[in-house]
Structure 1
Amino acid sequence: MRISFTKMHGLGNDFIMLDRRETALPAMTPPVAKALADRTTGIGCDQLIVLEPCDSADFRMRIFNSDGGEVEACGNAARAVALLHGAPARVQTDGGVIALEPTTDGARVDMGEPRFDWTDIPLAYAMDTLAMPVGWEMLENPSAVNVGNPHVIFFVDDIDAVPLDILGPQIENDPLFPERINVNVASIVNREAIRLRVWERGVGLTRACGTGACATAVVAMKRGLVDRKVTVTLPGGDLSIEWTEADRILMAGPATESFRGSFEWDQFA
């Protein structure tokens, strides 16, 4: 069976998009997602996105990381979905319902409300998630938040001095995080700007992470380090993040279609 796909990216965080809303496709599985995501023998991507019919929203977005694991949320993919859909929509994810809309220069997404309780991250045991009394070598006293998926955030003077390729996988798989964790290192530039690098759970170092930008921004706001609207600069580019008085996280930034193609399902199943 030959399957059509669209390749997209948000600030270099790239996706294979499969649309099952009106066309019957085989059910996605972690092994197939991992095979398609392989950059040598597959199409190659950070995440594979499957759009499906849904009764509780306009449609459902399923998200598979490049290791084949299914995850709850992806902010950059949400902007790509807005561009692909071409109209405002309410979208069901495993992290909750999000609202998205295309804009003239990308897309805007209402990512919902952040959750700070230790059980929502989740952590292995109770602690203050705003000032966690833990550390890994040079990274100490982080904050944690769930913005549809779980993140831990470290504020440092120089994000480029952190060996995130080494510390990222150690922290991601630490027993403190029973569902693993996305790892963010951030530097405050001023009250309206943050620099950020992300080790993404199940992916690794990434050029951009939309949920990481949201998580880092709201934690910096909760700590009083920045104002309620900031620009977060990642290796792939900038995202605008606002935490409204109604407790909603609004993310805006670019999304791009790279190309379209097709593949034989049996070659990857």
Structure 2
Amino acid sequence: MRVPFIKMHGLGNDFVVLDARAETLPPINARVAAALADRREGIGCDQLVLLEPSADADFRMRIFNSDGSEVGACGNAARAVALLHGSAARVETAGGIIAVEPDGGGARVDMGRPRFDWDAIPLAYPMDTLSMPVGWEGMDNPAAVNVGNPHVVCFVEDCDTVPLDELGPEIENDPLFPERINVNCATIESRTRIRLRVWERGAGLTRACGTGACATAVVAMRRGLVENRVTVVLPGGPLTIEWADSNPAAGASIVMTGPATEAFRGSFEWDDYA
């Protein structure tokens, strides 16, 4: 069976998109996803994105990390899918329904409401998620938030000097996080600008992480470090994050705006990866 794919990226965070909305594909499992994501023997990507019909939204988006694990949300993939779809849509994800809309060369995405309760992250035991009494080699006083995916956020003087390639996997797999965690290392540059690096659960260091930018921005807003509209600069480039009310009780959604790009299209033989 010959299967078409679209290779896309958001600020260098790259995806292989399979569109099964009109034509059903064989079931995707962790082994197939990891084989397609392999950069030496597969197509190569940070995440595999599968589009399917949905009974509750315009369509469904499933996201698999490069290790084959399935995750609840991906902000950069949401922008890429918005660009591919070509019009405003409600998209079902494992983390909830989000709203996407093409915007110039990218998209504006309503990422939904952040969740801060310890058991929504989840953590292994109760604690204040805005100021956690834990740390890892200078990554101290972190915060945790679930924005469709679970994130831990640490603010440091210079995020570029932190050995995130070493600390990332240690923190990701810390017993405090029973479902593992995405690790954000951030530096506040001004009231409207944050510099960020992210170790993604199941994918490692990536050039950009949309949910990481959202998580870091809302934590910084809750701590009063930045305004309610902020530019988050990742290695791949900037994203704009807005959160209308930094009071969690207000229930405001996070809005992310940024670019997305289609790189190329191709096809592969399904049996080569099944």
TM-score (norm 2): 0.97
Per the TM alignment, residue 200 of structure 1 is displaced from its structure 2 partner at its CA by: 0.3
- Cα offset, 1:268, TM superposition: 0.3
Match of 2:137? 137
The counterpart of 2:256, out of the listed 251, 256, 259, is 251
Superposition deviation, residue 105 in structure 1: 2.6
3-state SS, counterpart of residue 119 of structure 1 = helix
Query: Taking every aligned residue pair, what percent have the same amino acid on both sides?
Result: 73
Answering whether residue 158 of structure 2 is matched by residue 158 of structure 1, we say yes
- Counterpart for residue 61 of structure 2: 61
Looking at structure 2, the residues matched to 29 and 87 of structure 1 have their Cα atoms a distance apart, in angstroms, of 29
User: Separation in 2 of the partners of 1:203 and 1:44?
Assistant: 12
Shift of 1:104: 1.1
Q: Per-residue deviation at 1:243?
A: 0.2
Q: CA deviation at 1:161?
A: 1.0
Amino acid at match of 2:39: R
Counterpart amino acid of 1:257?
A: E
SS at the partner of 2:120?
coil
Deviation at 1:19, TM superposition (A): 0.5
What is residue 190 of structure 1 aligned with on the other side? Answer: 190
| 1:45 alignment partner, SS class | coil
How far apart are 1:244 and its partner, in Å?
1.5
**SS of match in other structure, 2:119:** coil
Moved more, 21-30 or 183-192: 21-30
Q: Indicate the residue corresponding to 2:88 in structure 1.
A: 88
Distance 2:270 2:210 in 1: 30
Task: For 2:12 and 2:104, locate their aligned partners in 1 and report how far apart those are by CA, in whole Å.
Answer: 19
Q: Which consecutive segments of 4 or more residues in structure 1 shift more than 3 A?
A: none
Cα deviation digits, residues 85-104 of structure 1 (max 9, x gap)? 00100000000000000011
Letter in 1 for 2:161: A
Corresponding residue for 2:15?
A: 15
Q: Which residue of 1 aligns with 2:273?
A: 268
Q: How does 1:105-254 map to 2 (within 5 A)?
A: 105-245=105-245, 247-254=252-259
Gaps spanning 5+ residues in structure 2: where? 246-250
Q: Structure 2: how far apart are the matches of 1:187 and 1:24? A: 44
User: For 1:17-37, what per-residue CA distance to the aligned partner results, in whole angstroms no more than 9, with x for missing partners?
Assistant: 000000121111110000000
TM superposition shift of 1:141 = 0.8
Count of residues in Structure 1 that have an aligned counterpart in Structure 2: 269
Alpha-carbon distance in structure 2 between the residues aligned to 1:200 and 1:185 = 11
User: Structure 1, unaligned stretches of length 5 or more?
Assistant: none
The answer on whether the counterparts of 2:187 and 2:194 sit within 8 Å (CA) in structure 1 is: yes
Cα-to-partner distance string for 1:120-168 (whole Å, 9 max, x where unaligned): 0000000000000001111111000000000000000000110000000
Letter of the 1:100 counterpart: V
Match of 1:165, SS state, is helix
Number of the residue aligned with 1:28? 28
TM-score (norm 1): 0.99
Q: State the secondary structure of the residue aligned to 1:111.
A: strand
Is contact 2:105-2:261 (8 Å) kept?
Answer: no
